[in-house]
Amino acid sequence: MLTSALVALERLLLPNACVACSRQVAAATPDDLVCPVCRSRVRAVPAGCARCGQPLPPVGPCRFCRDWPAALDQVSSAVWMGDEARAMIHHLKYEGYTRLSDEIAKRMAAVIVHPGPSLLVPIPLAPTRLRQRGYNQAAGIARSLGRLWRVKVDPGVLARIRETRSQTELTPTERSENVARAFMATPAPPHQRRVILVDDVLTTGATLAAAASALDAVGWRRIGAVTFARALPFTVRLDLG
């Protein structure tokens, strides 16, 4: 009842247009936040390294996940970070379009193999950033994905114990240093399920690696991760015509 009232209010207050291209969404699906054209332009990440999902180099082993902690054993992303995926994440994070987490989770569930019995743990924001933004986009995505997958979500397992600079302008090495020891985890229960970290974007994996290390330090094992988007490696070009 309350939810439908909120949706009605949102329809009234927010323009009923695609978040990526601003075109009106189809009248038949007035609740959509992304139009069919933009949805079709969001490209799935093809199969790559069995552990990290990154496209493999032409020769030799995967170098993308080489320095990740051993505890982080499997990471999947649903789509490449093209313009449309970037617009979706931007609107979810900064423009208050919290319902986009459902659209994003739907895409993830369509592409990423169900992890089996597990616990979804969103990557937390630092408390001050959470207060500023009022919303942790990773927790929103985890809740939506948990509903689709019928998997429990626990945002209380991980906490960010120190502020970190925005990763956007940093090199891969700086990213790792920036997020090292940024997280603290609650101790693993005796009969733990597989843990799946949830985040919006994977760039170098530094954040996921730091979070996995924090879990590993207090006894969590079998740690995987899923993200909606993945930064495009320079070797991959999206042919969008």
CB of 19 to Zn ion, least distance (A): 8
194-202 and 118-122 beta bridge pairing? parallel
Assess 142 for contact with Zn ion (CB under 5 A): no
Residue 229 CB partners (closer than 8 Å, separation 6+): 77, 78, 79, 80, 81, 85, 86, 89, 200, 201, 202
Assess 87 for contact with Zn ion (CB under 5 A): no
The nearer residue to Zn ion, 18 or 229, going by C-beta atoms, is 18
The nearer residue to Zn ion, 119 or 206, going by C-beta atoms, is 206
Q: Name the strands in the sheet holding 72-80, side by side, starting at the edge strand that comes first in the sequence.
A: 72-80, 223-230, 194-202, 118-122, 152-153
CB of 68 to Zn ion, least distance (A): 8
Stretch that binds Zn ion, among 7-15, 19-27, 209-217, 219-227 (CB under 5 A): 19-27
Question: Which amino acid appears at position 166 of this protein?
Answer: S
Instruction: Please give the structure tokens belonging to residue 186.
Output: 């609650």
Distance CA 125, CA 229 (A): 18
End-to-end CA distance of the chain: 44
Beta bridge partners of 160: 183
Question: Which amino acid appears at position 143 of this protein?
Answer: R
Question: Which amino acid appears at position 146 of this protein?
Answer: G
Distance CA 62, CA 46 (A): 15
Contacts with Zn ion, 21-50, as mask; x by CB under 5 A: x-------------x--x----------x-
The nearer residue to Zn ion, 102 or 151, going by C-beta atoms, is 102
Question: Which amino acid appears at position 173 of this protein?
Answer: T
CB of 18 to Zn ion, least distance (A): 3
Assess 64 for contact with Zn ion (CB under 5 A): yes
The nearer residue to Zn ion, 35 or 88, going by C-beta atoms, is 35
User: Which residues between 160 and 219 bind Zn ion (CB under 5 A)?
Assistant: none
Assess 56 for contact with Zn ion (CB under 5 A): no
Assess 109 for contact with Zn ion (CB under 5 A): no
Assess 85 for contact with Zn ion (CB under 5 A): no
Assess 18 for contact with Zn ion (CB under 5 A): yes
* Residues that bind Zn ion in the complex, under the rule CB under 5 A: 18, 20-21, 35, 38, 49, 51-52, 62, 64-65
